[in-house]
Structure formats: structure tokens, C-alpha cells
Amino acid sequence: MAASDELRTALADLTGESDYRISFDPYWVRVPPYRVALTKGGKTEAVLAAKNDLDTATVYEIRIVCPRGVRVDPSVATLRVQPGELKRLPLTFTTTGDARAGLTLAAIDITQDGVRRGQLFDVILDVSPTGQSPRDSSTR
């Protein structure tokens, strides 16, 4: 048995999940790029990406929990994802005047096939003050 197969077996034994990637893959639900640039009082488009590494279809209910002063539409999404599929959903982040400038997080709370997994993932929100353009996240 190859070392990679042994590692996969060991990880699967640790998780108790049908697929070890549910516990160890930090990218099966994400908002790429990981840092979203926002301006106070503005809107920014982003994408929610959810993949299914299982051998059967799965249903994700995803809630994005934003800090005060930031909203996302949709804030809740139910996605049926086929085996091996990567599904994308457009998001719109909107800030209000009471959004705090600087870096903050929005949590990605996941329920999979009726089992709540919790706030496993997040996305960095980089909020710039009104009138200033958001910093370019590609240079960091």
C-alpha cells in the first residue's frame, strides 16, 4: 500500500465520516477569492462555491453570517450537488454606514443532508471607508 493510501485510511479512521475530506478539506465550501474587498455604503459581487466529493448527491444548506453593517444576498442557500460536482452561486455583499472599516470575517455555516456541520469556513471582508477604493487583495 502506498504511503498516500495509508494516510487516507488513517484520516478516514479519525473522522468517522463516509469521506475523510468532509473533515480535512478546507475548500469544499468557500467564497473565492478568500478576501472580498468592500467599500462602506457599496456593493460587491462574489461567488459561493460548494463541491461534493462523495459518491452520492448531497444537499447543503448554507448560511452566511455577516458582521454588523454587512449583508449578503442570498444569506441562506440550499444547494443540491451531484457527486464530483462543483456548484457556484452568485453573492452580493452590501455594506451600510455602520460597517466597521478594516478586516472582519463572515462565517459560512453548513448543514449537510440534514446534519449541521457548523461554521466550518469563513471569508475575509476587507471594508474600506467611504470614498476610498478597496485595497487590491491580489497584492497581499
Question: Is residue 41 situated within a structural domain?
Answer: yes
Which one, of 92, 87, 60, lies nearest residue 75 by Cα? 92
Which residue segment(s) compose the domain that 55 sits in? 27-134
pLDDT tens column, 53-87: 889 999 999 999 999 999 999 999 999 999 999 99
Kindly report the CATH number assigned to the domain that includes residue 98. Answer: 2.60.40.10
| Structural domain count, the chain | 1
Which one, of 34, 23, 38, lies nearest residue 97 by Cα? 38
Q: What pLDDT score was predicted for residue 105?
A: 96
Is there a contact between 115 and 60 (Cβ–Cβ < 8 Å)? no
pLDDT tens column, 125-140: 999 986 555 554 443 3
- Measured CA to CA, the distance from residue 40 to residue 26 in angstroms comes to 29
> Does the pLDDT of residue 25 top 90, yes or no?
no
